[in-house]
Amino acid sequence: MTKTDIARRVYDNAWKLDPIVRSLLDTDFYKLLMLQMIWKLYPDVNATFSLINRTKSVRLADDIDEQELRDQLDFARTLRFTKKEMIWLAGNTFYGKKQIFAPEFLAWLADFQLPEYHLSRRDGQYELTFEGLWSHTTMWEIPALAIINELRSRSAMRGMGQFALDVLYARAKAKMWSKVELLRQHPELRISDFGTRRRHSFLWQRWCVEALKEGIGPSFSGTSNVLLAMDTDLEALGTNAHELPMVAAALAANDAELAEAPYKVLQDWNRLYGGNLLIVLPDAFGTAAFLKHAPDWVADWTGFRPDSAPPIEGGEKIIAWWKEKGRDPREKLLIFSDGLDVNTIIETYEHFKGRVRMSFGWGTNLTNDFVGCAPHPFRGLDPISVVCKVSDAGGRPAVKLSDNPQKATGEPAEVQRYLKFFGTEDFVELPVKV
Amino acid sequence: MTKTDIARRVYDNAWKLDPIVRSLLDTDFYKLLMLQMIWKLYPDVNATFSLINRTKSVRLADDIDEQELRDQLDFARTLRFTKKEMIWLAGNTFYGKKQIFAPEFLAWLADFQLPEYHLSRRDGQYELTFEGLWSHTTMWEIPALAIINELRSRSAMRGMGQFALDVLYARAKAKMWSKVELLRQHPELRISDFGTRRRHSFLWQRWCVEALKEGIGPSFSGTSNVLLAMDTDLEALGTNAHELPMVAAALAANDAELAEAPYKVLQDWNRLYGGNLLIVLPDAFGTAAFLKHAPDWVADWTGFRPDSAPPIEGGEKIIAWWKEKGRDPREKLLIFSDGLDVNTIIETYEHFKGRVRMSFGWGTNLTNDFVGCAPHPFRGLDPISVVCKVSDAGGRPAVKLSDNPQKATGEPAEVQRYLKFFGTEDFVELPVKV
């Protein structure tokens, strides 16, 4: 008897769209936390998000078909939170807290739809922007990036035969498992999946999450992906992102407000959340400037997430600052999340072991490491550095400096103004690979 | 819509037997070549084949359920050559020759059935023997070994979850492909699959054959597995085995006939086949003794298959012998087939390059290399050294010495008699891993 399922075969040949983002929960948890704050405190602020491909050598508009991209974005706009998803958001415990989302916020969320997008092409790249209320445009960041990255993977794999794909995924799985085996030698390590935006594909991210669950068990703290957290009973993880200080800075009416902006958003955050959610993201305009001017209460927060300095240097500076403020770093938490891979994770962990609590948010190199996996030499699946950043808030350009000038975003003149204002102390120029 | 095929799911849960050997062509090609000779020249000779597990530390009777083994052996006995198979055997060109199988032989083959088996247990091992006409029992060697090895794999994998199996096969594929990439650096190399008897499973052997086809293309000469050769349009490869001189020696009525036996079977072979099929297997009673007493016409044959000496030492001795006989080794062929893996293949190839033609028959380490592939440390899939040898012919014990005393088989007293008769020159004691 032949084993081919004829109906399945016909369906596979006939389908119109294989949607990449199939749920509004297929996003990073911190987007929901930030969304509640934006909805509550900044309901009338407009913010534009823009796609930025830092890997200029990859011409995305040549690799990705425009109609396919539109079809995927359009499909994402048809999504609403389902009843099951709403019930889970209301009933689940996040970071040890029940009802982290207010009933009024959830009532508003029930009707949420991703807003319109603007798509055009220039010089082989896509100009993809989302304009409108911050409380809507912010939600495009993760699905837009996931769609771009998965469409690029699909395009790269289009020419591969069945056997080549078989080898490709076998090697990617073997590679992933060899990382798991390395991590298993450090059972005290705490790792979480931060790889939604850069993932090779949704199914691949799910496989990687399963691999961590199977392989390192209790060392795997959870995932930033809310859908995967729900479906696999993992912790949903994440706190806040650069968009908060970036928008606050863009909205500043004068230099005093600009200087205050990075701390003001932390105070906003503290009003809504507390405990383990009190994680400082210090590098929006440079970590050194942030620490120099930080009020004492910042040292009371649970921890920091250095996101652009080299992890050991960045971590040492924060530890030194805690000590200066009379705090014991062993009671504090450092969350590393910038361009990590197994070796940097283990190296950083070994360096700080016993001196500070640590957690590692593993992104691109967890969910999109196909380097050297194709059966023949092939670079089309190497990850690229693509982001979706707030580019404009309240009608004014938004800027991010970070500790690595290569990661700065914003209009050049405005970037210069910020550099002059915040200074460039301890900036380290490093190539941005992922 | 749920994607589960309900009928398939029920079938998967309800089936009675997943047969391992599903075709009488699922055997090594040389068995058919030898069978035609046995059928023609030794139709009345009885020969017993016996399973020998050289890896005593693995207690096969503990690992493999007796009823499952009986079910598989019984299923193999229900097989007949199908019409399609008979037509292919008659119509295909083997080693450049049409109609290598005589019509009378094929007519006889059409009714062929594997004979009865005898199965008992002793000290944690199976005693599995096939008694009767040599022209029937000889055909059990390969299916019996394939069944034993695949049942052992199945038993070892029984406790593994779906994810563990996924990682296992991904790593095995990645490992196999890394071997392909090494071999690809030597496009002049000629490799063939000799791995049927020792395979992890039929499906895995098929995957490995596909991998070689995809990966090294023209460097992949073919497979010894007749079914895979037919199904994938590859060359069916193989010439003759130790059972020919072993039976001839057992039948010898006196010392003169015993001395003649190794050469007599070559003359028999020459009567039926010629050209590329004239490959000498010299080590049944030691290569040194074979060469010392070999008639000059042996040097006219196409090549040798040294099967138990270390490949470089063994090859050098045969090359020296060819030169002594005034033959140019560059026109001769050496087929290596004993316990090869990528490194020994490449090393041997580099050693002899330009001095002799070479071909590599890759067995256990091609089709059963799962060492280190399970997601957690596990030795249950390490290959074992199990063979099915003629133990008795014409009512007299059969013996193999080989160049490595570890590979000798036969009753100890009879082995001693042969050792005394043929000598032990150049014997090299080596551990038999596979």
**Amino acid letter, residue A356:** V
Residue B362: closest CA among B336, B389, B394: B336
Q: Mean pLDDT, to the nearest integer, of A192-199?
A: 98
ipTM > 0.85, yes or no:
yes
**Using CA atoms, how far apart are residues B245 and B281, in angstroms rounded to an integer?**
9
**Using CA atoms, how far apart are residues B379 and B305, in angstroms rounded to an integer?**
31
**Using CA atoms, how far apart are residues B157 and B375, in angstroms rounded to an integer?**
12
From chain B, pick out residues whose CB is under 8 angstroms from the CB of A173: 166-167, 170-171, 174
Say what the pLDDT of residue A13 is: 82
In order, the DSSP letters of A214-230 are HHHGGGEEEESBHHHHH
Closest-CA residue of chain B to A164: B214
Whether residue B214 and residue A177 make contact (CB cut-off 8 A), yes or no, is no
CA distance A171 to chain B (A): 5
Contacts of B265 (CB under 8 A, 6+ apart): B240, B244, B245, B248
**Using CA atoms, how far apart are residues A8 and A13, in angstroms rounded to an integer?**
9
Q: Which residues pair with A222 in a beta bridge?
A: A192
**Using CA atoms, how far apart are residues B80 and B78, in angstroms rounded to an integer?**
7
Chain A window 366-385: which residues touch B at a Cβ cutoff of 8 Å?
375
Interval A285-340: pLDDT, tens: 999 999 999 999 999 999 999 999 999 999 999 999 999 999 999 999 999 999 99
**Using CA atoms, how far apart are residues B31 and B138, in angstroms rounded to an integer?**
7
- Tell the residue number behind the tokens 């493999």, with chain if given: B64
For chain B, list residues with pLDDT below 70: 1-2
Contact A249, A262 (CB under 8 A): yes
Query: Is the four-CA dihedral A208, A213, A216, A222 of positive or negative sign?
Result: positive
From chain A, pick out residues whose CB is under 8 angstroms from the CB of B170: 169-174, 177
From chain B, pick out residues whose CB is under 8 angstroms from the CB of A375: 177, 180, 214-215
Q: In what order do the strands lie in the sheet with B396-397?
A: B118-122, B125-130, B47-53, B386-393, B396-397
DSSP E strands, A267-354: 279-280, 303-304, 333-336
Per-residue tokens: A308? 């652009």
The answer to whether B12 faces chain A, any CB pair under 8 Å, is no
CA distance A172 to chain B (A): 8
Contacts of B202 (CB under 8 A, 6+ apart): B20, B21, B22, B26, B146, B150
Contact A224, A361 (CB under 8 A): yes
- Encode B356-373: b = buried (16+ Cβ within 10 Å), e = exposed: bebbbbbbbbbbbbbeeb
Whether residue B375 and residue A174 make contact (CB cut-off 8 A), yes or no, is no
**Using CA atoms, how far apart are residues A22 and B263, in angstroms rounded to an integer?**
73
**Above 80 in pLDDT, residue A1?**
no
- Tell the residue number behind the tokens 């030492």, with chain if given: B313
H or E element, residue B424: none
CA distance A164 to chain B (A): 9
Closest-CA residue of chain A to B176: A167
CA distance B244 to chain A (A): 40
Per-residue tokens: B361? 């028959």
CA distance A411 to chain B (A): 46
- Please state the φ and ψ torsions of residue A76, each to the nearest 5 degrees: -60, -35
Say what the pLDDT of residue A2 is: 66
Q: What letter does residue B69 receive in the DSSP assignment? A: H
Q: Mean pLDDT, to the nearest integer, of A226-253?
A: 97
From chain B, pick out residues whose CB is under 8 angstroms from the CB of A8: 3, 5
Query: Is the four-CA dihedral A413, A415, A416, A420 of positive or negative sign?
Result: positive
The radius of gyration of chain A's CA atoms, rounded to the nearest angstrom, is 21
**Using CA atoms, how far apart are residues B277 and B295, in angstroms rounded to an integer?**
19
Name which of B10, B168, B214 to mutate to probe chain A: the one with the most chain A Cβ atoms within 10 A of its Cβ.
B214
Count other Cβ atoms within 10 Å, centred on residue B41: 13
Output the CA–CA distances (angstroms, integers) from residue A127 to A66, A124, A413, in the order listed.
11, 10, 20
The answer to whether B8 faces chain A, any CB pair under 8 Å, is yes
DSSP3 helix / strand / coil % (chain A, rounded to 5)? 50, 15, 35
Contact B385, B404 (CB under 8 A): no
Contact A336, A368 (CB under 8 A): no
**Amino acid letter, residue B116:** E
H or E element, residue B333: strand B333-336
H or E element, residue A4: none
Contact A336, A358 (CB under 8 A): yes
Interval A10-22: pLDDT, tens: 888 888 899 999 9
The answer to whether B429 faces chain A, any CB pair under 8 Å, is no
Contact B397, B414 (CB under 8 A): yes
The answer to whether B174 faces chain A, any CB pair under 8 Å, is yes
In order, the DSSP letters of B166-222 are HHHHHHHHHHHHHHHHHHTT-TT--EEE--TTT-S-HHHHHHHHHHHHHHHGGGEEE
Interval B185-224: pLDDT, tens: 999 999 999 999 999 999 999 999 999 999 999 999 999 9
- Tell the residue number behind the tokens 């042996």, with chain if given: B298
Counting residues of chain A whose pLDDT is more than 90, the rounded percentage is 92
From chain B, pick out residues whose CB is under 8 angstroms from the CB of A174: 167, 170-171, 173-175
The answer to whether B170 faces chain A, any CB pair under 8 Å, is yes
Q: Mean pLDDT, to the nearest integer, of A277-281?
A: 96
Compare CB distances from A170 to B3, B170, B214 and report the shortest one's residue.
Answer: B170
Residue A239: closest CA among A302, A328, A330, A149: A302
A70 falls in which pLDDT band (50, 70, 90)? Answer: very high
From chain A, pick out residues whose CB is under 8 angstroms from the CB of B173: 166-167, 170-171, 174
Say what the pLDDT of residue A421 is: 95
Say what the pLDDT of residue B2 is: 65
Residue A312: closest CA among A280, A279, A354, A349: A349
DSSP3 helix / strand / coil % (chain B, rounded to 5)? 50, 15, 40
CA distance B174 to chain A (A): 5
Per-residue tokens: B271? 């009567």
Say what the pLDDT of residue B7 is: 79
Q: State chain A's mean pLDDT as an integer.
A: 96
Whether residue B173 and residue A163 make contact (CB cut-off 8 A), yes or no, is no
Q: Mean pLDDT, to the nearest integer, of A119-124?
A: 97
Q: What letter does residue B235 receive in the DSSP assignment? A: P
Q: In what order do the strands lie in the sheet with A125-130?
A: A118-122, A125-130, A47-53, A386-393, A396-397
Per-residue tokens: A304? 């920091």
B184: exposed, middle or buried (C-beta count within 10 Å: 0-12, 13-18, 19+)? middle
Contacts of B13 (CB under 8 A, 6+ apart): none
